[in-house]
Amino acid sequence: MLSACIIVKNNEATLDNCLNSIKGLVDELIVVDTGSSDKTKEIAEKFGAKIYDFEWKDNFSEAKNYAISKASNPWILEIDADEVISKLDHLKIKELLQENKHLGYFLIQRNYTNEFGAFGWTSCVDDIYEESKVASGFVPRKMLRLFKNDPRIRNEGAVHNSVIKSVGKLGTTGDTEIPIHHFGSLNQTLERVRWYVDIEKKNLKNDFFQEYQIAIQLHRLGELDEALKHLIRSLELNKEFYLTLLEIAIISIKKGKISEVRPLLLRSLQLKDYGMTWSQLGIVEAYEKNFEEAVKCFEKAVLSNDKNADFHFNLGLSLFQSGNKERAKKELDKAAYLNPYYKDKISFSS
């Protein structure tokens, strides 16, 4: 038996799609409203949801924890109003609950986007899901959204909330490839990004990941110097977090400080072999005209994610510069196939 828990505010445009996607999967709908003035509640009522009001306190975890406290079934699925679960995956989720091997399961949140060069971008070309047709690609992110209903399991984090810490103290987690299709990134405004930053700053703790997340949002806003301050703080709190080092390197490249980047990237790779880091190191090698080394770096990036058009494109450019024009053309063609953005972006004869 499964309860779905959702917090909402003025989500009439997306809630019907969300709730319809989990119809037949969940046995109970818990909808917590934080101040809607549109038809959000009416839509929730149509699906037989149990609706509760909750005063918004600039903290997503508090609202979500209130929602899961109202669930009455043994398992909980957390889902947002701008997300859906494909009908293709209902049986898979039900089988996980029946197996009952872990306290919680990671799903893959697909953040659909048409943004060029998005961090970790993966092409939607040849994808089996109808939901993926809304965008050229998505950015995947592991999210612990399916877990046992236990009063000791609660969200932490003002914006980027998760039950990971509390689940980890109590039992084991399992990985799945089941996607949560998230459409909110397709029309996210900079005003909303600013809102996220403001909430995080109101709830500041000595937390390296929170500092990193603030920096990521500030980067999106173009406030690179302010982002670096939070990244330095993140590094002070945890010198072993590879993504902080990678983000410092990415911003440093944008600021033209490429000579300072290599040690950061190499240290990041020591901590975790990661495709995005190899890609950035390839950019450094190409900038310094070490094209054969750049090719090696981009090859490793492609190996980590063969559906990332940016990796193929940069590999193609490096191959061309190193003299391998035939293979370069294949990589550039692959980039254009994976992301139409790259069509006609470069042309040269072999």
Question: Phi first, then psi: what are they for 50, rounded to 5°?
Answer: -90, 115
| 112 Ramachandran zone, left/alpha/beta (phi>0; psi -120 to 50) | beta
Question: Can you give the pLDDT at residue 205?
Answer: 87
Question: Can you give the pLDDT at residue 115?
Answer: 86
Q: Quick check: helix, strand or coil at residue 237?
A: helix
Of 202, 194, 277, which is closest to residue 242 (Cα–Cα)? 277
Q: Is residue 34 part of a domain?
A: yes
Q: Could you tell me the two tokens for 110?
A: 């697909």
Question: Can you give the pLDDT at residue 309?
Answer: 96
CA-to-CA distance for 212 and 284, rounded, in angstroms? 23
Domain co-membership, 175 together with 208 = no
Domain co-membership, 179 together with 211 = no
Domain co-membership, 25 together with 160 = yes
Domain co-membership, 37 together with 113 = yes
Domain co-membership, 109 together with 91 = yes
Domain that holds residue 207: 191-342
User: What is the bridge-based pairing of β-strands 173-182 and 83-84?
Assistant: antiparallel
Flag residues of the chain having pLDDT under 50: 349-350
Domain co-membership, 267 together with 146 = no
Q: Is residue 291 part of a domain?
A: yes
Q: Is residue 212 part of a domain?
A: yes
Write out the E strands in the chain.
2-8, 28-33, 50-53, 75-78, 83-84, 104-113, 122-123, 137-148, 173-182
CATH code at position 207: 1.25.40.10
Report if pTM > 0.95: no
Domain co-membership, 122 together with 268 = no
Domain co-membership, 223 together with 109 = no
CA-to-CA distance for 163 and 270, rounded, in angstroms? 28
What sign does the CA torsion over 228, 232, 233, 239 have?
positive
Among 187, 222, 245, give the residue marking a domain's end: 187
Q: How many Cβ atoms from other residues are within 10 Å of residue 284's Cβ? A: 21
Write out the E strands in 166-222.
173-182
CATH code at position 122: 3.90.550.10
Question: Phi first, then psi: what are they for 252, rounded to 5°?
Answer: -65, -40
Among 166, 187, 208, give the residue marking a domain's end: 187
Q: Quick check: helix, strand or coil at residue 211?
A: helix
Q: CA-based diameter of the chain, in Å?
A: 66
CA-to-CA distance for 58 and 85, rounded, in angstroms? 27
Measured CA distances, 87 to 50, 94, 178, 257, 315 (Å): 23, 12, 11, 48, 37
Question: Can you give the pLDDT at residue 347?
Answer: 61
Domain co-membership, 168 together with 267 = no
Measured CA distances, 250 to 140, 149, 159, 169, 298 (Å): 19, 40, 23, 34, 16
Per the structure, the count of domains in the chain is: 2
Q: Is residue 348 part of a domain?
A: no
Question: Can you give the pLDDT at residue 349?
Answer: 41
CA-to-CA distance for 155 and 177, rounded, in angstroms? 22
Q: Could you tell me the two tokens for 207?
A: 């937390």
Domain co-membership, 171 together with 248 = no
Q: Is residue 350 part of a domain?
A: no
Question: Can you give the pLDDT at residue 344?
Answer: 72
* Arithmetic mean of pLDDT over the chain: 94
Domain co-membership, 169 together with 226 = no
Question: Can you give the pLDDT at residue 159?
Answer: 79
Among 142, 163, 187, give the residue marking a domain's end: 187
Q: Are 63 and 6 in contact (CB under 8 A)?
A: no
Could you identify the residue written with the tokens 């690609």? 137
Question: Can you give the pLDDT at residue 169?
Answer: 93
Q: How far is CA 99 from the centre of its chain?
A: 27
Domain co-membership, 229 together with 310 = yes
Q: Is residue 347 part of a domain?
A: no
